[in-house]
Amino acid sequence: MSNELKIYLDGQLVDKSDAKISVFDHGLLYGDGVFEGIRVYNSCVFKLDEHLERLEYSAKALMLDLPWSRQEISDAVCETCRVNGITDGYIRLIVTRGVGSLGLSPRSCPNPSIIIIADRIQLYPHEYYEKGLKIITVPTRRSGPAVLPPMIKSLNYVNNILAKMEAHQGGCEEAIMLDEGGYVAECTGDNIFLMHKGVLLTPPPSTGALKGITRQVAIDIAEELGVPLEEKTLTRYDVWIADECFLTGTAAEVVPVIEVDGRTIGNGVPGETTKAFLKRFLEKVSVEGTML
């Protein structure tokens, strides 16, 4: 038996080297599909049910009918982890429109395709969680609800990739994206939170922010810790004068930010509230989810 990583592809577990899709798959041709990034901690698939619910919502918004039940997908995710010995890692769950003809119409794609990858990931070096990130605001604006509703976690990520490239060109790992009105939307792959005068602030999804699963965990933690929270439109000025700033995401987890656009956030080190949120988050990840 091969020791290669096994990929779940349309009901079969195949070697990584054999995991291939057709060049006529509309996920490849047009970015027509949806996905979820999911974490596994100590054999717990964190918030799996919430991720699968969001996958279903994204698919419904794209009129992409899923022929599998939530339980069937859940079982496939867990089996892929077990087969690969993944007890701590990252899962990429992808559903494409499937094979069709050349042309935009999804009518030529009768059967969607499902792909599950279970592997390991470290988005940021460990030192960033101790010392904090330096980020910038980039020119590329976040697509708004009138273009592509940000609540849909689709395979079309070029908007975010352009912003990520601008972050790298600016010497940063991450960057803030603004909406068309100039308000803070989110980062290239993470949601953003600010602490200002004892209140936790985060942009509402209407600005172009994804309804992140980890974002919701942070909102839940705020309630548990008794930290007042407001979803409100934020400007760059609000970020610059914040007492603390942190980002949330499945891959990023909860990572502190100590500088934005050359302005020091707070006293230039991760704040006490941020550290409390990260501590509570790490307490949750191996108990709130689906056990392998």
Amino acid at 149: P
Tell me if 90 sits within 8 A of 72, measured CB to CB.
no
Query: At which residue do the structure tokens 């867990």 appear?
Result: 78
In angstroms, the CA 144 to CA 140 distance is: 12
Query: By three-state DSSP, how is residue 26 classified?
Result: helix
Q: 6 an active-site residue?
A: no
The total of other beta-carbon atoms located within 10 Å of residue 191's CB is 25
Phi first, then psi, for residue 275 (nearest 5°) are -65, -35
Tell me if 274 sits within 8 A of 195, measured CB to CB.
yes
Query: Degrees (nearest 5) of the Cα angle 242, 244, 246?
Result: 115
Catalytic entry in 6, 47, 153, 164: 153
Residue 106 in tokens = 């999804």
In angstroms, the CA 133 to CA 225 distance is: 24
Q: Which residues are catalytic?
A: 153
